[in-house]
Amino acid sequence: MDPADLKRLPLFESLNKRELERLGRWVDEVDVPEGRHVVDQGQLAWEFFVILEGQAEVLHDGKHLADLGPGDYFGEMALLEGTRRNASVVAKSPIRLGVMLSRDFAGMEEEMPAVTEMISSAVRKRAAELNAS
């Protein structure tokens, strides 16, 4: 994936050029049509997603929880915690996603532990915010 696309995302904006280039090796781009379920509640988690373009909605038990757009990410909690997906995410428009598989996240942990900790810290903060609401 192009490091310039990653740099525009709040989650990765603090990374330097070298870190972004290395991260880009582990992130693939995927185009998803409107209406497609990207992940479904209850599924096993194998990947982490960040929205590059487009809009998606988060559903839990079929009820709307949130809207997502460029820079938002999802799938990280189940991936990091080894649990099943706690919500579904559906494309509200055609979307372009950055996708990192669990094996690539493990490779990043090995090669770039500081970056992995930064992502994990953001995930923990987000989980705490969700649990507080």
**Could you list the pLDDT tens digit for every one of the 133 residues in the chain?**
898 888 888 888 888 999 899 889 999 999 999 999 999 999 988 888 999 999 999 999 999 999 999 989 898 776 677 778 989 999 999 999 999 888 888 888 888 888 888 877 877 787 677 667 6
Rounded to two decimals, what is the model's pTM? 0.86
Instruction: Report the chain's C-alpha Rg in angstroms.
Output: 14
The residue type at 67: D
Domain tally, the chain: 1
Q: What are the Cα distances from residue 1, in Å, to 26, 75, 121?
A: 8, 19, 23
CATH label of the domain that carries residue 80: 2.60.120.10
Check the CA dihedral 8-12-18-22 and report its sign. negative
Range of the domain at 115: 28-102+111-132
Does 80 map to a domain?
yes
